[in-house]
Structure 1
Amino acid sequence: MSSYISRLRAAQSASKRLISQLTQREGKVSAFLRRLGLGGKVVAPIPRAISTTPVRKAEMADPLEHATGIEKRELLLKAAGCADPWAMRKPLRRGSGRENDPTVIPSAFDGRLVGCICLGDRFAKWMWLEKGAPKRCECGHFFVLKNVPPV
């Protein structure tokens, strides 16, 4: 037991903390350590370092600097004053719908899905409209695809 205590006496601070905790307790072990001359030495625990990084909202980058592709083009259009770059605020109204005067549907692609709300129906009838000749709905209205530049 005395060799163990001599090793504890020569040990690092963690073991010295253990000795100080044992001597503070009431009992046979604390009395024994006090007789050996180990009592009364209290070692303070080593403080732990805490690191923080300040964040300021004023230094956050502009969203336009991080945007790429379609999102960047959309943000540039909004900055230029175009509040609705995709023309989705209001639905397109059906025109006369005759074969010689079809309803024009704008699209940047070769095809587009179009829904026609026919008279007397509660739900839209969907059809795939492709570039070329006008396409007729079940209700008799004609639609044609018109190319527009992409956003």
Structure 2
Amino acid sequence: MKILSTDSYLIMGLTELLEHKDVRETCFDIVFDAGLKYLYILKMIPFSHDWDLVHYFLMSDKIVIKRNSTSAELRKALATEHQRLPKRKGRLTNTELKIIKMLLRGLPPCRIAKVCAVSEKTISAHKINAFKKLELSGMADFLRTLDAWVKFH
């Protein structure tokens, strides 16, 4: 399992935790720490040739857990079997992904609404739903998380 973090204490703690018998055979591939409030525990999915790193992060199966979780909570999350993951938990819908990618390209919500032939409120709702799934409080957190993800790759 890869641990993507700049926090050496977190890396040491997770490394020790991964040696525990309950999580030694975890189905997850990556623990990603963007340095914010949450850790992303990801089960990577087959990479499509037309995806970029952002798409890959957004579409992977994941568990989002508070960064200050106890070792017991982390062990429980890491011991989760892949088939017991809530369906599409943390994964964006195609519409949410499309809207987030347009926002990342700098398009304003009113322009996205015209392109998608929906109201600005619908665009806002999709953006809010995407951020909730990723446990992010807004666009600034989202950009910091993606920046950290890209830097690790």
TM-score between the two structures when normalised by the length of structure 2: 0.23
Larger relative contact order (CA 8 Å, sep ≥ 6):
2
Give the number of the structure whose alpha-carbon radius of gyration is greater: 1
TM-score between the two structures when normalised by the length of structure 1: 0.23
